Copies of this chain bind each other. A is one copy, B any other.
Amino acid sequence: MTAGGFGRANLPYGIFRRAGEPARVGVRFGEGVLDLATLAADGLLDDPGGAFAQPALNAFMACGPAAWAAARERLQRLVSGVDAEPGLIALDDVELLLPFAVADYVDFWSSIDHAANSGRIFRPGSDPLPPNWRHMPIGYHGRSGTVVAGGTPVRRPHGQSRPDREAPPVFGPSAKLDVELELGFVIGAPSAMGEAVPVALAAEHVFGVVLLNDWSARDLQAFESQPLGPFLGKSFATSISPWVTPMAALEPFRAAPLTPQEPAPADYLREEPWALDIALEIELNGEAIARTNGRHLYWSVAQQIAHLTVNGASLRTGDLLGSGTISGPARAERGSLLELSWNGAEPLALAGGAERTFLEDGDEVVLRGIAGEGEDAVALADVRGRIVGA
């Protein structure tokens, strides 16, 4: 029951629906779901303002860290069977929905090996990192409206690309459909417009963590992105875990980042460096094709939040911050097919003799993540997605 990283140490929140019943808040425990609205109705759990009967986590997330801590403490007692044995609904009997309404989605670019690989592939001969990269967590806004729960099929997008630079652009289905393995940080507590969030207080705004697949059409992205950044190459779909692991569950897995920050960042970004020690994996059609770790992130989510708000921009409940693709220095640690196949130049050999440069129709990708081992392990819920033809 507590095997696989979904025991008492995790207790992630999600939105589930049983046939014929309204969607509401649940917590995953092992292979079962605790129905928080029913627990609250039975007097076993405080429900701040009826938040657990909502079809999105936002109302609960907006309650802030004290309410999150109180609910977590109570749920940990409940699943320990201290007071009563709570009923569990089998995971197989529920449909999992997008866990929260996404406010703004920002995708950062905070893994140094991924950023450098991008530079080596697209700007060979020049410095692999752009001049701003070591000074701030570079990011851009993505499309909130196309963030979907893992399990949702992903249709191959159409768009314009220019495979031959001497010829006019062509229109058609993307020929370079890719996956990006990321962590997603979910903002619970909002901040006021006009007020920067200090880096030391930034993590208190984070409700929890998901895995995030930032599906990318590299050919569309390459033609459209200069000078205003990615647009259609990213906006067709972004998949996240259907369960949000509480930030509190991951606190024991804080660890030093594997690359020190050099030069020292500006004052508003300065903190004791940290990352999350989460083992991460990309599985393609059942085969692990990459294994990496959250410690390969150069910038922390606290630094990302301090940067995002230093100009006075506010945080809202439901903001989603993608870490950016997480890659390590070894080939097997690269978090995208762009890097694994070096933009198609070095096809990836799969079991059974198959090869891949980018995704083919029918391919199924699963992102996995787990921190720790055994009883104390904390898993991030898998993000699955199968490619449907254009």
Give A residues with C-beta under 8 Å from B: 103-104, 106, 109, 118, 122, 130-132, 135-136, 138-146, 148, 155, 157-160, 162, 168-169, 171, 193-194, 196, 217, 220, 223-232, 235-237, 263, 266-268, 307-308, 310-316, 319
Contact = CB atoms under 8 A, between A and B. Distances in A.
A139 B103 CA distance: 20
A140 B144 CA distance: 13
Contact of A228 (B104, B138, B155, B235): B138
Contact of A266 (B139, B160, B193, B226): B160
A158 B104 contact: no
Given A227-B226, A316-B145, A135 B169 contact: yes
Given A138-B224, A138-B228, A131 B162 contact: yes
A141 B138 contact: no
A156 to B, nearest CB: 9
Given A224-B136, A227-B225, A141 B313 contact: no
A196 B235 CA distance: 13
Give the oligomeric copy count.
Answer: 2
A246 B235 CA distance: 28
User: Main SS of chain A's interface residues?
Assistant: loop
A121 B261 CA distance: 34
A311 B228 contact: no
B313 A229 contact: no
A312 B153 CA distance: 12
B138 A319 contact: no
Contacts of A220: 311
A159 B311 contact: yes
Contacts of A104: 143-145
Contact of A141 (B225, B231, B263): B231
